[in-house]
Amino acid sequence: MTVRIENVGRAVRETEYAVRGPIVNRAQELERQGREIIYCNIGNPQSLGQRPLTWVRQALALAEYPALLESAPGAFPADVAEVAREMLRGTHGHGLGVYTDSKGLHFVRQAVADFIRRRDGVAADPEAIFLTDGASKAAQGVLHLLVSGPRDGVLIPTPQYPLYSATLTLLGAARLPYQLDEGAQWKLTRQELEATLARARAGGITPRAVVVINPGNPTGAVLGEAEVEMVLEVARANDLAVLADEVYQENVYRPGERFVSFASALARRRLDDVSLFSFHSTSKGLLGECGHRGGYVECRNVPPEVMQEFVKLQSVALCANTVGQLVTYLMVTPPRPGGPSHARWEAERREVFQSLARRAELVERGLADVPGIQCNPVAGAMYAFPRITLPPGMSDEAWCLQLLEETGICVVPGTGFGQAPGTWHFRTTILPPVDRLEQVVRRIGEFHRRVGAR
Amino acid sequence: MTVRIENVGRAVRETEYAVRGPIVNRAQELERQGREIIYCNIGNPQSLGQRPLTWVRQALALAEYPALLESAPGAFPADVAEVAREMLRGTHGHGLGVYTDSKGLHFVRQAVADFIRRRDGVAADPEAIFLTDGASKAAQGVLHLLVSGPRDGVLIPTPQYPLYSATLTLLGAARLPYQLDEGAQWKLTRQELEATLARARAGGITPRAVVVINPGNPTGAVLGEAEVEMVLEVARANDLAVLADEVYQENVYRPGERFVSFASALARRRLDDVSLFSFHSTSKGLLGECGHRGGYVECRNVPPEVMQEFVKLQSVALCANTVGQLVTYLMVTPPRPGGPSHARWEAERREVFQSLARRAELVERGLADVPGIQCNPVAGAMYAFPRITLPPGMSDEAWCLQLLEETGICVVPGTGFGQAPGTWHFRTTILPPVDRLEQVVRRIGEFHRRVGAR
């Protein structure tokens, strides 16, 4: 054959993405053989029964086929018809079939800017907002701008979401892992960031940026105001861009915790020279619209000539999909209070939120009693990342594979996210419906009592 | 600021994508100042009045909001309701909000395989088909697999669609341009391919693949069977993968010309060792659904371990958007003859096709009479790439800019696509509605009579 594996580049071959790695492939194989599998490997809420918000889907149906506004007027509440008309006007009447600006539709970017202003009390510029096919593409695009070879490095947390390690490997840049403190509920410390920077420099690497995931994936931790500000100060002192992965900003369950955006902290501390890229997504939060691939990045303190390069990168594949752009619009544009859709929208959101909060607690408590498993609070996001004690010679990968074979539960080994040497973990989502999740937690407990160590 | 332009990598900064380059930026600037602009820079049919197919949009509306199947049953033909139910079953009942397999939904890949079998009389494997956010992402992904540094090269036509040059620049690989013969209706010759290969090898570059665009963008030329087979033979003899950009396969207007797929030629000649990647899209053809970002690549004679690397690349950003995947399904799954939607679907398609054919002829003929403009037949695709004779000291970029300033017509200079030294061209789409297109052609003629040379 005229294509051979040995000609595929090393960067591609060395890239790993555990959330869809070998354990998941094995799960799919078992499923094809007729085994029932419970997928806890990926944050894909609607695949496990979460219902989409009616507000979003009604508006999309009308935007796809606007003739319904005439032919089935009774089938939609008046405010849905109104928002659909608004969205169609926003496409200059062309509808969803057209390429948009490389940055995305202007009215959506304006709505995102308004959302940021409402959330943070800080002005935002629609021209500094890029709509992307999910936040993953946004993060990949930004990293592409910031690194250009093996001497450029980016700080990423350990444990981290493997999008970051995979993208840096693909780009041939250096990964600079900083360790979150598991003993202190995955705390992020200045000392650890600075030690990581020093190690990098000693190795001849120029640190270019720091990635922070808040709320944390896979940790479930939520950063406090002081931690967010500390990261920005370290970034300023060390000439780093900040990549703030804030896709779980609506997923904070624990009373007393709240989401603090990097944009708000930047403004509060008047750090006008720290370049910030913050990511948001339609896939998480209370929408769970993963398949629609909607997301954005907001750039702050980024020179226009760098943003121009980003526009060019985006333009090569033309634009993000229009439906995902509209889902982003609908995420930041709720029905008006008093309108016909508002009560339903609120009730559906409340149900999703309360159910997620209940499941976060269920996982945290259910695993707390198992000898050999230690689980930090699931304060936010959609995952638990429990530490497991294993008998000598057993790896987390072997543990996950055996769990899958014996119970049909598919989780991802800690290796895929990074973990302190000598420790083992797994990541599970909190997403199966309550009754199944109870089963998952019970079976994991039984399994670990059998095969684990104390 | 902690991000600066001088730290952006050279590959990114050197990348160019003329279809959305400086001329287009200037057009948008003029538009914001109130000027009326006719955008002929990009193949974006629905932005210029082409209507989406009702079959596609009705089915998408139902898939977004399946409750309509109950609440507004009369609003949709029975076969649309049926195809929508089929698509929802294909998502395992989860609907459009879920991440799919990295390759895309299996039932869509199966439908694409069936489509290829019907088109070419050749079996196709759904496991070798990847659904992507438009064909652009598919081409970028495949190139990422095939080259890994400055010593790897890919043959691309001159003139070419700048996706290919841009992606190779981003990947840091060598572009190996081969010249299409403008004097022979943009013919592709073995001699030119072999000369290009020899030049590359003499320069220490290993040619890895050859890109062919058929029907041609920007040339409008349609390859004959002999040319397609010749490319495959050259690929075999020189150990090249073939990238067949076949997104305009439905856009063949000229009587006597027909589209010959690379897959069919591969099978006919039993070239079972030539690795072929063929691309198709929902953006062109008779759908023109650009904004939905649907597309696919079919791999043939590609070793499974290489496809596995492709799966991994795709998995890092999880999957293509689900709506684009469904548009791909609907593109290859027409309404059944005799069903309630069939006549309308056929009539809408016929109207689009006939109108495109008429406009192709209009551009070709309208420019033929202008002294100093030579235009090959627009046999296929959606563009003309006329050669213009310019007075000494004038470039095609200057010509395009002046055309824009004086007439509001936005076309792209030949420089963005590549052209033989000493020749100048521009690319225009054939997409404005007939009356405006007549205006465009007339004004370009008047303009060139004034500023051009003979």
Q: Which two tokens stand for residue A123?
A: 């002005």
Q: Are strands B206-213 and B152-158 parallel, antiparallel or unpaired?
A: parallel
- Give the pLDDT band of residue B7 (cuts 50, 70, 90): confident
Give the rounded percent of residues in chain B with a pLDDT score beyond 70: 99
Distance CA B137, CA B280 (A): 11
Residues in CB range of B67: below 8 A, 6 or more apart: A54
Give the pLDDT of residue A16: 82
Tell if the CB–CB gap between B97 and A235 is shorter than 8 Å. no
pTM of the model: 0.95
- Name the residue among A375, A143, A50 with its Cα closest to residue B98: A50
The residue of B65, B103, B144 whose CB has the most chain A CBs within 10 angstroms, and thus the best one to mutate to test that interface, is B65
Decide if B5 contacts A307 (C-beta within 8 A).
no
Q: What is the mean pLDDT of residues B290-319?
A: 93
Q: Which of A2, A148, A303 sits opposite B274 (nearest CB)?
A: A2
DSSP state of A67: T
Residues in CB range of B250: below 8 A, 6 or more apart: B259, B284, B285, B286, B353
Decide if A293 contacts B320 (C-beta within 8 A).
yes
Question: Does A200 reach chain B within 8 Å, measured CB to CB?
Answer: no
In a 3-state reduction of DSSP, which class is residue B447? helix
pLDDT tens per residue across span B16-70: 877 677 898 899 999 999 999 999 998 898 988 899 999 999 999 999 999 999 8
ipTM value for the complex: 0.94
Beta carbons within 10 angstroms of residue A392's beta carbon: 5
What is the dihedral angle through the alpha carbons of B346, B348, B351, B357, rounded to the nearest 10 degrees?
A: -80
A273 to chain B: which residues are within 8 Å by CB?
1-2
Distance CA B235, CA B317 (A): 31
Decide if B409 contacts B398 (C-beta within 8 A).
no
A275 to chain B: which residues are within 8 Å by CB?
1-3
List chain A pLDDT tens, one digit each, 454 residues.
999 998 888 888 888 877 677 898 899 999 999 999 999 998 898 988 899 999 999 999 999 999 999 888 888 999 999 999 999 999 999 999 999 999 999 999 999 999 999 999 999 999 999 999 999 999 999 999 999 899 999 999 999 999 999 999 999 999 999 999 999 999 999 999 999 999 999 999 999 999 999 999 999 999 999 999 999 999 999 999 999 999 999 999 998 899 999 999 999 999 999 999 999 999 999 999 999 999 999 999 999 999 999 999 988 888 999 999 999 999 999 999 999 999 999 999 999 999 999 999 999 999 988 999 999 999 999 999 999 999 999 999 999 999 999 999 999 999 989 999 999 999 999 999 999 999 999 999 999 999 876 6
Token look-up 């040339």 returns B219
Decide if A179 contacts A212 (C-beta within 8 A).
no
Tell if the CB–CB gap between A102 and B20 is shorter than 8 Å. yes
Tell if the CB–CB gap between B60 and A64 is shorter than 8 Å. yes
Give the pLDDT of residue B184: 94
Residue B428 has pLDDT above 90, yes or no: yes
Side chain identity at residue B21, one-letter code? G
Distance (Å) from the C-alpha of residue B376 to the closest C-alpha of chain A? 27
Q: Which of B5, B16, B306 sits opposite A5 (nearest CB)?
A: B306
Give the pLDDT of residue A71: 87
Side chain identity at residue B343, one-letter code? A
- Name the residue among A337, A322, A340 with its Cα closest to residue A88: A322
pLDDT tens per residue across span B70-129: 888 888 999 999 999 999 999 999 999 999 999 999 999 999 999 999 999 999 999 999
Mean pLDDT of chain B: 94
| Nearest-by-CA chain A residue for B140 | A317
**B160-to-A34, B413, B420, B425 alpha-carbon distances in Å:** 49, 12, 12, 13
Give the pLDDT of residue A72: 82
Residue B444 has pLDDT above 80, yes or no: yes
Decide if B380 contacts B251 (C-beta within 8 A).
yes
DSSP state of B244: E
Distance CA B231, CA A158 (A): 49
Q: Where are the alpha helices (DSSP H) in B276-414?
A: 304-316, 322-332, 342-368, 396-407
A283 to chain B: which residues are within 8 Å by CB?
99
Q: Which two tokens stand for residue A82?
A: 């109104």
Tell if the CB–CB gap between B140 and A317 is shorter than 8 Å. yes
Q: A213 forms bridges with which residues in the sheet?
A: A245
The residue of B245, B266, B318 whose CB has the most chain A CBs within 10 angstroms, and thus the best one to mutate to test that interface, is B318
| Nearest-by-CA chain A residue for B60 | A64
Give the pLDDT of residue B302: 96
A5 to chain B: which residues are within 8 Å by CB?
303, 305-306, 309
Q: Which of A19, A144, A319 sits opposite B12 (nearest CB)?
A: A144
- Give the pLDDT band of residue B454 (cuts 50, 70, 90): low
Distance (Å) from the C-alpha of residue B69 to the closest C-alpha of chain A? 11
Give the pLDDT of residue B288: 96
Beta carbons within 10 angstroms of residue A22's beta carbon: 14
Q: Which of B12, B58, B318 sits opposite A136 (nearest CB)?
A: B318
| Nearest-by-CA chain A residue for B299 | A3
Helix axes B396-407, B22-32, angle to 10 degrees: 10
Give the rounded percent of residues in chain B with a pLDDT score beyond 90: 87
DSSP state of A310: H
Distance CA B264, CA B266 (A): 5
**B250-to-A317, B54, B134 alpha-carbon distances in Å:** 21, 18, 16
In a 3-state reduction of DSSP, which class is residue A42? coil
Distance CA B388, CA B386 (A): 6
Question: Does A376 reach chain B within 8 Å, measured CB to CB?
Answer: no
Distance (Å) from the C-alpha of residue A324 to the closest C-alpha of chain B? 8
DSSP string, B52-94: PPHHHHHHHHHHH-TTHHHHSGGGS-HHHHHHHHHHHHHTTT-
Give the pLDDT of residue A13: 85
- Name the residue among A72, A129, A134 with its Cα closest to residue A292: A134
Give the pLDDT of residue A33: 94
Give the pLDDT of residue A454: 62
Decide if A13 contacts B309 (C-beta within 8 A).
yes
Q: How many CB pairs under 8 A join A and B?
A: 290
Token look-up 């940790």 returns A219
pLDDT tens per residue across span B197-224: 999 999 999 999 999 999 999 999 999 9
A57 to chain B: which residues are within 8 Å by CB?
64-65
Q: Are strands B412-413 and B241-245 parallel, antiparallel or unpaired?
A: unpaired
Tell if the CB–CB gap between A99 and B240 is shorter than 8 Å. no
B320 to chain A: which residues are within 8 Å by CB?
293
H/E segment holding residue B388: strand B387-388
Residues in CB range of A65: below 8 A, 6 or more apart: B54, B57, B58, B60, B61
- Name the residue among B102, B92, B137, B445 with its Cα closest to residue B297: B137
Q: Which two tokens stand for residue B155?
A: 């043959």
Q: Which two tokens stand for residue B330?
A: 């609907």
Distance CA B87, CA A27 (A): 24
Q: Answer left, alpha or beta for residue B177, where phi above 0 means left and psi between -120 and 50 means alpha.
A: beta
The residue of B1, B2, B167, B169 whose CB has the most chain A CBs within 10 angstroms, and thus the best one to mutate to test that interface, is B2
A152 to chain B: which residues are within 8 Å by CB?
7
Distance CA B212, CA B209 (A): 10
pLDDT tens per residue across span B233-247: 999 999 999 999 999
Half-sphere exposure of A123 (CA within 13 A, CB side): 3
